[in-house]
Chains A and B, each alone.
Chain A
Amino acid sequence: MKKVLVCLFAAFMAFALAGCGNGGETSSTGSGSTALSGSISTDGSTSMESVIGALGEAFTQENPDVRFTYNPTGSGSGITAVTEGRCDIGLSSRALTDEEKQTLTETTLALDGIAIIVNNSNTVADLTVEQIAQIYTGAITNWSQVGGQDGEIVLIGREAGSGTRDGFESITGTEDECLYRQELTSTGDVITTVSQNPNAIGYASLAAVDDDVKTLTVGGVAPSEETVKDGSYVVQRPFVLATRTGEDLSPAAQAFFDYITSSDAASIISQQGAVPVN
């Protein structure tokens, strides 16, 4: 009995090894035809994670010899990293400042709507930008003041330095004035917290919002691909690729850059909930 088992095991191993050999051959011929290898490193905005992750996956599927890395550190860190040459492409979920533009080139990859989210049990369906600003600065403190049920509004936001917070506060004109009840460190935490508290309001990247929370319309406009692209949904921000001005990208990084800014990548970007501009 034991001998039979050993034989079977040996046979299985032999097949498995043969399988490995085959796999190796096909992949090497595949790379031979495209002849693209090397590494592409990206660094920056955590809000762009799903978009850049999907693009990176699609690109490495076509070019298996290319090593793609994405370091989710935040817009500020990404811009610093690309300025200091620690990565090929910096990812920023805000437009570059004039100071940053002196050394970096900005290419808008996509637009992202920032969704205003409340708990599913909340009866409020629409707020204006002014109302949102008043809620976050403490002028409005109860849901009944904006047509909802009685309940103290609980303000959920992101930590200082987050691209989403920066985007939200600059669009609503509430910089440094928001009276947050909670400052959380990720989009997922914001969504979970809002889904747990019936009186909570929060903001999150439109790409990340799911059915656990209710998305409000702003000034009567629901956030969607069309309304973000035509500008009628006003709470939106750009997803920016930052590259060093006057310095060529490596061949692999250049190919990746061309690919993600081409119309081929548009469907992948919109699948992730962002709005492609190319």
Chain B
Amino acid sequence: MADGAAKLKPESKSKKDIKNLVETIIHIIFLVLGLVAVGCVLVITIYLVISGIPAIREIGIIDFLFGTEWASTAADPKFGILPFILTSIYGTAGAIIIGVPIGFFAAVYLAKMAPPKVKSVINSAVGLLAGIPSVVYGLVGMLVLVPTIMKVFNVPDGSSLLAAIIVLAVMILPSVIKVSVTALESVPKEYEDASLALGATKTETYFRVSVPAAKSGIAAAVVLGVGRAIGEAMAVMMVAGNVANMPSLFESVRFLTTAVASEMSYSSGLQRQALFSIALVLFLFIMLINVLLNMLLKRQKEN
């Protein structure tokens, strides 16, 4: 018996060792997989900085960021990206001004008022809207929206900042609605019950109690919409006209994203380097928005 017990012990020890080894290996595999994402971000950041800096140095940061003229292939090339920066800011702001109120009220309705059947229909429609590829938005914009703008506003050509704003406003709707609905639904029911018990109407309760309680979540939804709008290229390229003008509602304009996308395939030399610099500027914008988003989400969690 004792002999048997002595035999068993070392066996169970080696089994434990193997188990530990497997655990460690699995741990390492998951660590590596996790690091892939971090590695990608690092590689992209380093690559963008390395390839974006030379052109900025050559052109001069003031001339590059605040130059109002872009003529990359002219005999006397000019690389001022202020029109692109302003267009991206105006375009995104416009999309937010149109898209956020629609998205916000839709979210309040969906989260608080809608009967379950209507809610499920609208929810699946919003899901579909999120799934439509951006090139389809662009195509519909190009064939329907652009001629409509031309007729309604009696302008020679409908490809304009306005067309881009409308397309972007529709494109940000799904993210604004979904994140706002989640925020509104996570408001504790006791808050609303207390408000109702004090004699407030349902509508008063939703707008005076639920919405303020969910405000950081709704702000996160808006910032997410900003991120989506500022990074969109394909749909915008098809409706905005892509001429490097200073932004104006009915003028053909070029965004930061489309400035990179439209010239990249044929570019060479300093022009190509300058396109990387534009990408770097765009990247910084997105980083800023992400930091803001993370701050808002953190605050929501703390609440």
Contacts and interface: CB of A to CB of B under 8 A. Distances in A.
A197 B157 CA distance: 7
A272 interface: no
Contacts of A126: none
Nearest to A189: B238
Interface stretch (B2-10, B82-90, B143-151, B279-287): B143-151
Given A161-B73, A176-B75, A193-B159, A75 B143 contact: no
Nearest to A153: B156
Contacts of B157: 154, 181-182, 197, 199-200
Nearest to A176: B74
Given A176-B74, A196-B146, A184 B242 contact: yes
A200 B237 CA distance: 18
A73 interface: yes
Interface string B226-247: 0000000000011001110000
Interface SS of chain B: helix, strand, loop or mixed? loop
A59 B147 CA distance: 43
A183 B242 contact: yes
Nearest to A152: B156
A167 interface: no
Nearest to B266: A161
B288 to A, nearest CB: 28
Given A160-B73, A175-B75, A77 B266 contact: yes
Given A76-B266, A160-B266, A199-B156, A182 B243 contact: yes
B142 interface: yes
A187 interface: no
Counting chain A CB atoms within 10 Å of each CB, which of B156, B252, B254, B266 scores highest? B266
A197 B147 contact: yes
A112 to B, nearest CB: 17
Contact of B237 (A163, A181, A185): A185
B159 to A, nearest CB: 5
A81 B142 CA distance: 33
Interface of A: 46, 73-77, 80, 151-154, 159-163, 175-176, 180-185, 189, 192-193, 196-197, 199-200
29 contacts: A46-B265, A73-B265, A76-B266, A76-B268, A77-B265, A77-B266, A77-B268, A152-B156, A153-B156, A159-B242, A161-B73, A161-B265, A161-B266, A161-B267, A161-B268, A162-B266, A176-B71, A181-B156, A182-B157, A183-B242, A184-B242, A185-B237, A185-B242, A185-B261, A193-B159, A196-B143, A197-B147, A197-B156, A197-B157
Given A175-B75, A185-B242, A197-B150, 16 more contacts: A151-B156, A159-B242, A160-B271, A161-B267, A162-B266, A176-B73, A176-B75, A180-B243, A180-B252, A182-B241, A182-B242, A182-B243, A183-B241, A184-B242, A185-B265, A199-B156
